[in-house]
Every structure is written in C-alpha cells, then in structure tokens.
Amino acid sequence: MAQFPEFRDRSVLITGGGSGIGAAIVEGFARQGAKVSFIDIAEEESHALADRLSRDTLHPVRFHRADLRDVDAIRRTVDEVVAHSGPISVLVNNAARDDRHDLADVTPEYWDNNLATNLRHVFFTSQVVAPSMREAGGGVIINMSSIAFLLNMPDFPAYSTAKAGVIGLTKSLAGRLGPDNIRVNCILPGMIVTDRQMKLWLTEEGIADTVQRQCIKKVLHADAIVGPCLFLASDCAAAMSAQSIIVDGGIF
Ligand SMILES: NC(=O)c1ccc[n+]([C@@H]2O[C@H](COP(=O)([O-])OP(=O)(O)OC[C@H]3O[C@@H](n4cnc5c(N)ncnc54)[C@H](O)[C@@H]3O)[C@@H](O)[C@H]2O)c1
C-alpha cells in the first residue's frame, strides 16, 4: 500500500470499523501510523481487531463501543476520542446495515430505525466532529454510500433511500464546511465480498454473475476500498470536495 506521511500521528475516526470494509479501512490508516479510533456495536469482532492490529502498529488501535443510532452516545464517544487522541483529522462514516425488507412489511418504526442506522448518524457524527476539525485547521470526511440505489434493487427501499441521502448530505456538508478547510467526499462501493455478505446474501452464482458484469473480472474484497479512501483523505486529493467516487470494478 502507498504511504502517505501526512497521516502519521493524526487522529482518525471510523464508524462501523469492527468488520468488513470498515475493518480494512481501520487497518489501512493504522498501517500509515495514524492514531485510529473506531466505533462499533459488535464487541467480540471489534476487540479482536483492535488487539490484532495493536501488536504491530505505531499507535494502539482504540475500539469504542457505541450504538450510532444513539446521538448522545455519538457525542460522548467523539469527546472521548478527541480527549485521548487529539482533534480528529479524518472521519470515515462507514457504518450501515443492508437489511432486506419487503415494501408491504415496512412500518414507520422500521423505516425510522433503518434511516437511523444508515443515514442519521452520518449527519450527527459529522456535526460533532466538525468543530474539532475546524480547531485543527481542517480535516476530511468520507462517507460510504453504495451503488445499490442506482440499480433499481427491489429488496431494500429504506437502505437505498439512505444511501442516496448520503450523497446529498455529502454535497451539502462539503458546501458548509469547505470554508473551514474541511473536505467532504463519498465512496460508492459495488459488490464487496465480506463475511456478512457471504453469510446473508451472496451465492457463488451471484458473485460470478456480478464479476461477469464488471470491466475488471475479479472478485472485490474489502481492501479494494482502502486505497480510494486513503487517497481521498490524503493531500493528493486536496482540491477534491463534494465528489462521489464509484469503486465497483466498472459494472455495466
Ligand atoms: N459490502 C458491500 O458489498 C457494500 C456495497 C456497497 C456499499 N457498502 C457500504 O460499505 C459500508 C460497510 O459495509 P460492509 O459490507 O463492510 O458492512 P459490515 O456489516 O461488514 O460492517 C458494518 C459495520 O457497522 C457496524 N454497525 C452497524 N450498525 C451499527 C450501529 N448502529 N452502531 C455501531 N456500529 C454499527 C456493524 O457492527 C459492522 O461492524 C456500509 O456503509 C455499506 O452500506 C458495502
């Protein structure tokens, strides 16, 4: 992986860092010498990840258990991160749950919970982190959307709504925070094969079908998102804000 010296000793916060793409991003920043903190609800996996990485990274990787649907818990956790690791330079809003739900079954309570899981915390974590970035003279926010909402996928209308919302939110935050030297960008992953995806949704046939529709005929794993994330957070992307980058192997 390319090295970006600007991340060394910087405080980086990643949501949903305990597994899948988030865990790969945690490792990516930790291997750059950053002070990485991550938020998750999955305790066992998260402790295991923090312990494994902390054995040979410059700074120990810190796991904070919090449910991102709870805005007070977000505020408390960000305060802890800033108190321990200093003002946050990079925030990656990665956490989400792509639960399937049928149109006929969705209740107002289900809808609200889904949007709190997939969209609301992106706003509130950014709101709470922004003053700390401003104080540090600037920062970078990277939000995780998905190509799913572009593909007319029928099985998760609430998730698709949230992921489309992440792009609108990215653009609005970029406009609001740009004068404070805070850049806000978005990544739209395609089919990224993770443990959760394999357990719940993917089949070998489905994977082969998607790979066939990618320009790049390879199965993409979580590490495919790390490079684009590091790049967007780095000084190489200093003139990029309000942008959305698709990382899907070129699906057609
Ligand atoms: N895997 C894919 O194919 C794919 C495709 C497109 C977009 N994405 C997006 O990438 C991001 C990561 O996806 P992933 O596949 O790695 O998912 P994942 O389920 O493997 O990881 C998500 C993490 O978020 C955590 N999380 C969920 N709800 C939480 C909450 N309320 N509070 C705290 N933590 C919570 C989970 O415990 C988990 O560790 C998501 O935003 C997802 O929408 C993934």
Per-residue pLDDT at 1:
87
> What residue has token string 């992986």?
1
pLDDT of residue 238: 98
Q: Would 216 be classed as within a structural domain? A: no
Alpha carbon nearest to ligand 1 atom 2, residue: 192
Q: Spell out, as residue ranges, where the chain has pLDDT lower than 70.
A: none
- pTM of the prediction? 0.99
218 token code pair: 């390879």
With a 6 A CB cut-off, is 69 part of the ligand 1 pocket?
Answer: yes
Model pLDDT for residues 21-55, shown as the tens digit of each residue = 999 999 999 999 999 999 999 999 999 999 999 99
For atom 34 of ligand 1, the residue with the nearest CA is 40
| Domain assignment of residue 161, yes or no | yes
Residue to mutate, 37, 38, 40, ligand 1, most ligand atoms under 8 Å from C-beta: 40
3-state secondary structure 189-248: ECCEECHHHHHHCCCHHHHHHHHHHECCCCCEECHHHHHHHHHHHCHHHCCCCCCEEEEC
State which ligand 1 atom lies nearest to the alpha carbon of 116: 31
Would you name the residues annotated as active-site residues? 159
In our burial notation (b when 16+ CB lie closer than 10 A, e otherwise), range 197-220 reads: beeeebeeeebeebbeebeeeebb
Per-residue confidence (pLDDT) for residue 226, from 0 to 100: 98
Q: Does residue 12 lie within any of the structural domains?
A: yes
The answer to whether residue 215 sits within a structural domain is no
63 found inside a domain: yes
Whether 149 is in a domain gets the answer yes
CA of 179 to the centre of ligand 1 (A): 30
Q: Whose CA is nearest to atom 40 of ligand 1?
A: 96
- Interval between CA 120 and ligand 1 midpoint (Å): 14
Cβ–ligand 1 contact at 95 (below 6 Å)? yes
Cβ of 146 less than 6 Å from ligand 1:
yes
- Mutation test of ligand 1: which of 47, 98, 155 has the most ligand atoms closer than 8 Å to its C-beta? 98
* Domain count along the chain: 1
Q: Which domain CATH number covers 137? A: 3.40.50.720
Q: List CB contacts of 100: < 8 A, sequence separation 6 or more.
A: 155, 156, 201
What long-range pairs does 113-117 form, CB within 8 A, spacing at least 24?
113/69, 114/158, 114/159, 114/162, 115/158, 115/161, 115/162, 115/165, 116/68, 116/69, 117/68, 117/69, 117/162
Assigned domain for 200 exists: no
Q: Is the CB of 40 under 6 A from ligand 1?
A: yes
- Ligand 1 atom 36: residue of nearest CA: 16
Structural domain boundaries enclosing 145 = 5-194+223-247
Amino acid making up residue 207: I
Q: Is residue 204 part of a domain?
A: no
